[in-house]
């Protein structure tokens, strides 16, 4: 197994499948009355969060605790970090405390890569800037597999602010590794220049959501921040919602079996309407539950739990 | 004037047949006067006119932890330079006669290279009001190059006025070509690699649009324009058109833009973060060709020292810039090959002419100022950041093996470097 999980591209098809298979085994534990496994007893996992993300932090914390690891939550707010301590000094502190794994969330793209060069333990990227969020991609693939039975051969549309989305980058990389067909959809202003050659030669780009929907098995809606309109990425939230939002009318264009995903947090009324988010096609709550199993699998495999 | 007379034996001036050079009283003297001279065996060495850097950040005053006039001068001499033009983005900004004279005086005190201050175009580099350009021109520092480098003079009316105004004293505006609205938050070249790394892109058009605009302005008012650190293939096309139209424009390229590409950012190591950013292989090829052809007139280092804490951090928080003085000649040699007349033209004669430094850029021959550099073209050396004379360590070439080593540098007959070591 690899040492760090910094990018979804760190996983080849074999390793990615191993993570998903392991997650499925561990999910069975979550159904038991006693949810704990002794696997990582005595190991220390640090959650180093430079951004507020209760959802992701709690998911990693639950994952580590169910594997009996000691968990230290190191939040940038109210710590020495807010007093101006550098990432490197923080890394050396964690190193001295004997962290076996550091789970890091950071607003700067590439911060986990830097961290990995300064600590001996494993580094797990829990979202860095506008770069990647590999465990989100893993839990999304896991969710697709549990709902649709496979990932290879699926057609997945990723819709919205691809330019600023770490979820999109990791998903394109992982899904293409696993043999899915991926189309990114959004206004041209929110699709990165050269995104195809950058992420996957097979990646498709479309600016027309209605044209794409009848052909997909999965539609993954990305969060679109209202503030983006201030930088002229689109004229107004109303126009964005009209052209790229998923509402009930649009949802009816999907094939019968197709599912609707969202990494959260949702901006209801922007990229997704409440009736879509709460529909039977929606996997949004499942995604959260699957997150714990997938992160257990990642920590277990990276820390050589076997 | 130097009390020591040096006889440099068997040196090849710009690759020509070996000859002897006598250095006496600051000049290259006729060989008949060689009696009592200290002999330097220069067998296998090449003599170049002392190199002139049109774009150096010496950081003093303000960031003496990163570089001082003295430490930067030493790095320059070790790199074969005899003159450097010190950029204005110090703290306080070099936007008054007082600050440029201070830098000029510090350069004289260090005595390792001629330090020619560049003055800011606008007060505080803020892009609002013209600085007192005339006062800087008539100061002891005799400023002729003005630049807001680090910032673009993006206001077209202000740029037009600056270009026009400095005509009165044969000044030149050195523009950092970057349309700021197109590069807000930019971290690296916009393209395939930025899309993959999730770093905000710096599009090539932000540079090209300003060069095109400025060339038209310079033509309109009949002024001189110098373009700093040209980095894209498209900029080369714009320069080709401007020069063909007879615009008085000169341009520089940095060693790093001739050698490195945006793929380096994949490491997220900010030692590769620079402004303008490293571009693509296609751009590198176009820049090399333009330099060989003369569409790009000179090589300038954009030597930009930064303290460790400003580089040992997240990419997005790091300051842009890299060291260049001690490695420039080796990289140009690597890129252009041992075409010594061409190297002398691009790294000494033309930059001296643009900067109006009449003491520099002369071939070492009888009667000329003894301001020259001896290079061992056969030597290869490995770049060790800790061995740099700069106070900073942010070289992007760490561990690389480069051709050509500076053995000695002479400034008006005084050795500033001998046996590859600074004399002071």
Taking only the tens place, the pLDDT of each residue in A1-11 is: 899 999 999 99
Residue B315 has pLDDT above 90, yes or no: yes
Model pLDDT for residues B243-296, shown as the tens digit of each residue: 999 999 999 999 999 999 999 999 999 999 999 999 999 999 999 999 999 999
Cβ A67 vs Cβ A37: under 8 Å: yes
Task: Using CB atoms, pick whichever of B191, B309, B315 lies closest to residue A86.
Answer: B309
Yes or no: domain B50-355 corresponds to CATH 3.20.20.140: yes
Name the closest residue on chain A to residue B263, using Cα atoms: A198
pLDDT band at A81 (very low <50, low <70, confident <90, very high): low
Q: What is the mean pLDDT of residues B376-389?
A: 98
Residue B176 annotated as part of some ligand binding site: yes
CA distance A100 to chain B (A): 22
Residue B32 has pLDDT above 80, yes or no: no
Q: How many CB atoms lie within 10 A of CB B4?
A: 12
Instruction: Give pLDDT, residue A76.
Output: 73
CATH code, residues B6-46+366-422:
2.30.40.10
Only one residue has tokens 């309407």, namely A273
A133: annotated active-site residue: yes
Instruction: Give pLDDT, residue A304.
Output: 79
Whole-angstrom CA distances from B237 to B198, B208, B292, B332 are: 29, 9, 15, 22
Alpha-carbon span B297 to B288, nearest angstrom: 11
Residue A109 has pLDDT above 70, yes or no: yes
CA distance A66 to chain B (A): 32
Chain A residues whose beta carbon lies within 8 Å of the beta carbon of residue B200: 130
Active-site annotation of B, residues: 302
Residue B43 annotated as part of some ligand binding site: no
Residue B362 annotated as part of some ligand binding site: no
Residue B297 has pLDDT above 90, yes or no: yes
Name the closest residue on chain B to residue A173, using Cα atoms: B196
Q: What is the mean pLDDT of residues A180-188?
A: 98
CA distance A179 to chain B (A): 19
Query: Which phi and psi (to 5°) does residue B324 adopt?
Result: -155, -20
Structure tokens at B42: 């220069």
Task: Using CB atoms, pick whichever of B191, B195, B314 lies closest to residue A110.
Answer: B314
Q: Which of residues 289-328 of B touch A (CB under 8 A)?
A: 309, 312-317
A243: annotated active-site residue: no
The structural domains of chain B, with segments of one domain joined by +, span 6-46+366-422, 50-355
> Which entry of A105, A106, A228, A295 is annotated as an active-site residue?
A105
Average pLDDT score, chain A: 93
CB contact under 8 A, A108 and B314: yes
Model pLDDT for residues A194-210, shown as the tens digit of each residue: 999 999 999 999 999 99
Asked whether the CA dihedral B35, B36, B41, B42 is positive or negative, the reply is negative
Instruction: Give pLDDT, residue B1.
Output: 47
Complex confidence, ipTM: 0.93
- Establish, for the pair of chains A and B, how many residue pairs have beta carbons separated by less than 8 Å: 72
> Which entry of A55, A226, A238, A242 is annotated as an active-site residue?
A55
pLDDT band at B21 (very low <50, low <70, confident <90, very high): very high
* Percent of chain A whose pLDDT exceeds 70: 97
Average pLDDT score, chain B: 97
Q: What is the mean pLDDT of residues B12-26?
A: 96
Q: What is the mean pLDDT of residues A55-77?
A: 91
Structure tokens at A41: 């007893």
CB contact under 8 A, A198 and B193: yes
Residue B59 annotated as part of some ligand binding site: yes
Enumerate domains of chain A plus CATH numbers.
Answer: 8-132+290-301 (3.40.50.1370), 134-287 (3.40.50.1370)
CA distance B151 to chain A (A): 21
Chain B residues whose beta carbon lies within 8 Å of the beta carbon of residue A107: 316
* Percent of chain B whose pLDDT exceeds 70: 100
Q: What is the mean pLDDT of residues B124-132?
A: 98
Task: Using CB atoms, pick whichever of A86, A169, A197 lies closest to residue B198.
Answer: A169
Residue A305 has pLDDT above 70, yes or no: no
pLDDT band at B359 (very low <50, low <70, confident <90, very high): very high
Q: What is the mean pLDDT of residues B350-363?
A: 97
Chain B residues whose beta carbon lies within 8 Å of the beta carbon of residue A197: 192
CB contact under 8 A, A192 and B194: yes
Instruction: Give pLDDT, residue A78.
Output: 53
Name the closest residue on chain B to residue A90, using Cα atoms: B313
Alpha-carbon span A126 to A6, nearest angstrom: 8
Secondary structure element (H or E) that encloses residue B49, with its range: strand B46-49
Alpha-carbon span A183 to A173, nearest angstrom: 12
Alpha-carbon span A56 to A65, nearest angstrom: 14
Instruction: Give pLDDT, residue B142.
Output: 98
Alpha-carbon span B297 to B282, nearest angstrom: 20
Name the closest residue on chain A to residue B182, using Cα atoms: A231
């Amino acid at each position: 197994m690899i040492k760090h999980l910094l990018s979804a591209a760190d996983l080849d098809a074999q390793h990615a499948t191993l993570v998903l298979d392991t997650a499925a085994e561990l999910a069975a534990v979550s159904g038991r009355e006693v949810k704990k496994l002794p696997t990582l007893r005595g190991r220390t996992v640090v959650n180093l969060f430079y951004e507020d993300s209760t959802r992701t932090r709690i998911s990693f914390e639950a994952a580590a605790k169910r594997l009996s690891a000691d968990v230290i939550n190191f939040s940038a707010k109210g710590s020495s970090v807010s007093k101006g301590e550098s990432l490197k000094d923080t890394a050396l502190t964690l190193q001295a405390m004997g962290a076996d794994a550091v789970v890091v969330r950071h607003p700067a793209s590439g911060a986990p890569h830097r961290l990995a060069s300064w600590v001996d333990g494993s580094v797990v990227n829990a979202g860095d800037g506008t770069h990647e969020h590999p465990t989100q991609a893993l839990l999304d693939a896991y969710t697709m597999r549990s709902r649709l039975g496979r990932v290879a051969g699926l057609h997945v549309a990723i819709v919205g602010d691809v330019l600023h989305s770490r979820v999109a980058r990791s998903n394109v990389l992982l899904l293409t590794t696993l043999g899915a067909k991926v189309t990114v959809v959004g206004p041209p202003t929110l699709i990165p220049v050269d995104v195809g050659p950058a992420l996957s030669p097979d990646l498709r780009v479309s600016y027309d959501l209605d044209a794409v929907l009848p052909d997909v098995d999965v539609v993954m809606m990305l969060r679109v921040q209202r503030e983006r309109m201030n930088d002229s990425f689109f004229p107004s939230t109303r126009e964005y919602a009209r052209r790229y939002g998923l509402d009930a009318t649009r949802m009816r264009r999907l094939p019968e079996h197709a599912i609707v995903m969202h990494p959260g947090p949702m901006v209801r009324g922007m990229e997704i309407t409440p009736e879509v988010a709460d529909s039977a096609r929606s996997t949004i709550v499942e995604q959260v539950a699957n997150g714990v199993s997938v992160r257990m699998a990642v920590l277990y495999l990276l820390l050589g739990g076997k | 004037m130097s009390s020591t007379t040096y006889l440099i034996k068997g040196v090849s001036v710009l690759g020509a047949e070996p000859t002897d050079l006598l250095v006496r009283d600051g000049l290259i003297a006729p060989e008949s006067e060689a009696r009592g001279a200290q002999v330097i065996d220069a067998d296998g060495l090449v003599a170049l006119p002392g190199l002139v850097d049109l774009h150096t950040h010496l950081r003093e005053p303000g960031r003496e932890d990163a570089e001082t006039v003295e430490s930067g001068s030493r790095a320059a001499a070790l790199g074969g330079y005899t003159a450097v033009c010190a950029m204005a983005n110090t703290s306080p900004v070099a936007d008054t006669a007082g600050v440029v004279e201070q830098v000029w005086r510090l350069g004289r005190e260090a005595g390792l290279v001629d330090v020619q201050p560049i003055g800011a175009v606008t007060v505080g580099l803020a892009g609002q009001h013209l600085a007192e350009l005339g006062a800087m021109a008539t100061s002891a520092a005799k400023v002729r190059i003005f630049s807001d480098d680090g910032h673009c003079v993006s206001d077209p009316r202000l740029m037009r006025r600056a270009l026009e105004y400095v005509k009165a004293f044969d000044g030149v505006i050195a523009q950092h070509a970057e349309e700021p609205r197109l590069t807000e938050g930019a971290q690296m070249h916009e393209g395939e690699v930025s899309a993959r790394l999730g770093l905000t892109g710096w599009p090539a058009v932000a540079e090209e649009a300003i060069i095109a605009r400025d060339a038209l302005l310079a033509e309109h008012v009949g002024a001189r324009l110098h373009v700093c650190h040209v980095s894209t293939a498209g900029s080369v096309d714009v320069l080709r058109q401007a020069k063909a139209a007879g615009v008085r424009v000169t341009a520089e390229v940095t060693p790093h833009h001739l050698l490195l590409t945006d793929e380096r950012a994949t490491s997220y190591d900010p030692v590769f973060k620079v402004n303008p950013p490293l571009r693509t292989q296609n751009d590198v090829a176009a820049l090399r060709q333009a330099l060989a052809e003369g569409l790009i007139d000179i090589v300038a280092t954009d030597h930009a020292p930064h303290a460790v804490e400003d580089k040992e951090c997240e990419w997005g928080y790091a300051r842009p810039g890299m060291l260049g003085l001690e490695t420039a000649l080796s990289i140009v040699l690597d890129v252009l090959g041992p075409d010594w007349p061409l190297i002398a033209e691009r790294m000494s004669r033309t930059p001296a002419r643009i900067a109006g430094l009449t003491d520099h850029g002369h071939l070492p021959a009888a009667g000329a100022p003894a301001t020259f550099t001896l290079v061992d073209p056969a030597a290869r050396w490995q770049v060790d950041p800790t061995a740099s004379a700069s106070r900073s360590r942010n070289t992007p070439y760490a561990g690389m093996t480069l051709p050509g080593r500076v053995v000695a540098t002479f400034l008006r007959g005084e050795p500033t470097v001998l046996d590859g070591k600074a004399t002071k």
